[in-house]
Structure 1
Amino acid sequence: MNTTPDTAESGTGGGGPGDRLRIAYSPCPNDTFVFHAWAHGLVPEAPPLDVTFADIDVTNGMAERGELDVLKVSYAVLPWVLDEYALLPCGGALGRGCGPLVLTREPGADLTGRTVAVPGERSTAYLLFRLWAAAEVPDGVGRIVVLPFHEIMPAVRDGRVDAGLVIHEARFTYQDYGLHKLADMGEHWESRTGLPIPLGAIIAKRSLGKERLHALAEAARASVRMAWDDPDASRGYVLAHAQEMDPAVADQHIGLYVNEFTADLGEQGYAAVRGLLTRAAAEGLVPPLAADALAF
């Protein structure tokens, strides 16, 4: 995984070297689709980007250390970083029918005392899993193992862990590994709240100032709309970073995770984010949010 700036793919317009923004997002199709236009200098007036590709667990850590100007992170990490970063109202991943899955080798497995692989202890997937497990596995799961998301299904298939919590395109490919869906964290969340599922957020340094933060949000929104207007323009960029993913799976991935909430969180989106973090705080899983913590 590339975790260094990929300046060859950075934009070329929008100002001098001092104006360049350091941004990190994943090589997953939804992120490369969303940021293609901006990263290639196609968004008018948007600052050029120095892009770092990294798994979500890595970008969460970057945010906690205050690294980079703009980051794609898990919503679950927000309570630890909102003093330094502001949540942008666009560019992220939030939707319906797109929740993380718990996979096992055998259908209907009991997770009590079992080893479960997760994509990060500060990931939204793990936070949703903990809320689910509190209700559905009352005696508790066993050991939690953190693995990069693309290593989780092979680990379950090969018996190195008893179950895996998967995200991204795994919902389309897990049957290829001979695995079974034990539970859908999104279904559990939606059935209890009626709200969409918050997954990944775009955050930016508050020190950039409110005027520039609003300009960044507009750049992200414009990049999303340009991707929708001409999906073929980003295809090479998406597939080049999609880790040998089948193009049809990449298209499914984009179709599921890039939606109206990517262009603007809106009232429902903000309600979902606050609802998740408020419920998690009530369970003692994250620090409580200040009343204005999500304000932009």
Structure 2
Amino acid sequence: ATRNMDPSEVKGKRIAIPGKLTTAFLTLSLYEPDFIPVVTPFDKIPDVVREGSVDLGLVIHEAQLTFAKGGFHCITDLGKWWKQTYNLPLPLGANALLRSLPADVKSECCRMMKESIQHAIDHHEEALNYAMQFARDMESPLAEKFVGMYVNHHTLDCGEDVPAAAQKLLDMGFEAGILPKRIEVEFVR
């Protein structure tokens, strides 16, 4: 938002969202179902808020860390809201495999992904330097914080919390009428 406001003021507002098939949109819809979504490329959301063509913006990716620098105010951190409300992490992404793949292929895919992530963690500086070429106007300290938000202990071992959180989020989305059908999450480890 371009000004500080109470979370109750979100109701009925035009909100720039990064897409209707995003965790961000689903979470916002559960938090406050009464708003007007305006689909906007994620990297243009701060611009349309500043221009006034929408009332608020739902930011993802690096804008979560840079919005204040742009003169914007956080109304609600949906990740914190989810954690405080449900005592679960907000699931923000996953790698998908076809259920029809043989079990050994699924296991091998998981092993290779885990090995790749572990390599990046073990070679942190080299991995961060590589990732910086894809960073959109992000300096190294901010990029390191951003990577830390998404590459953490849950990345290597999702434990029981992440599958429970993913199932809860999808169940709530279905029950609220946001998702057209119930989705059964299946994790391969």
Q: Deviation of residue 204 (structure 1)?
A: 2.0
Tell me the SS of whatever aligns to 1:122: coil
Match of 2:92 among 199, 203, 211: 199
Task: Quote the residue 2:139 is aligned against.
Answer: 246
Counterpart contact for 2:118–2:156, Cα < 8 Å? yes
Aligned to 1:21: none
Runs of at least 4 residues off by over 6 Å:
none
Question: Which residue of structure 1 aligns with residue 5 of structure 2?
Answer: 108
Structure 2: unaligned runs, 5 residues or longer: none
Conserved in 1, the CA contact under 8 Å of 2:154 and 2:162?
A: yes
Match of 2:43 in 1: 150
Q: Is the 8 A contact 1:157 1:178 kept in 2?
A: no
Q: 8 Å contact 2:18–2:42 — kept in the other structure? A: yes
In the alignment, what sits opposite 1:117? 16
2:97 corresponds to which letter in structure 1?
A: A
Residue 294 of structure 1 aligns to which amino acid in structure 2? E
* Selected match of 1:168 from 40, 44, 61: 61
| Unmatched tracts of structure 1, length 5 or more | 1-103, 135-139
| Kept in 2: contact 1:154–1:177 (CA 8 A) | no
Identity %: 32
3-state SS in 1 of match to 2:75? strand
Summarize the Cα distance change of 1:195–1:157 in structure 2 as closer, same or farther, 3 Å threshold: same
Match for 2:14: what amino acid?
T
Higher strand share: 1
CA deviation vs aligned residue, 1:86-106 (integer Å, no higher than 9, x gap): xxxxxxxxxxxxxxxxxx111
CA drift of 1:177 comes to 1.4
Instruction: Give the length in aligned residue pairs.
Output: 185
Alignment match, 1:219:
112
User: Amino acid of the residue matched to residue 106 of structure 1?
Assistant: R
In the TM superposition, what are the counterparts of 1:25-174 in structure 2 within 5 Å?
A: 104-108=1-5, 110-134=9-33, 140-141=34-35, 143-174=36-67
Greater helix share, 1 or 2?
Answer: 2
| Offset at residue 207 of structure 1 (A) | 4.4
Code of the residue aligned with 1:183 in structure 2: it is T
1:63-110: CA deviation from partner (whole Å, max 9, x where unpaired): xxxxxxxxxxxxxxxxxxxxxxxxxxxxxxxxxxxxxxxxx1111162
CA distance in 1, matches of 2:100, 2:48: 41
Quick one: distance in 2 between partners of 1:112 and 1:206? 39
Q: Root-mean-square deviation (CA), in Å?
A: 1.6
Q: CA deviation at 1:295?
A: 4.7
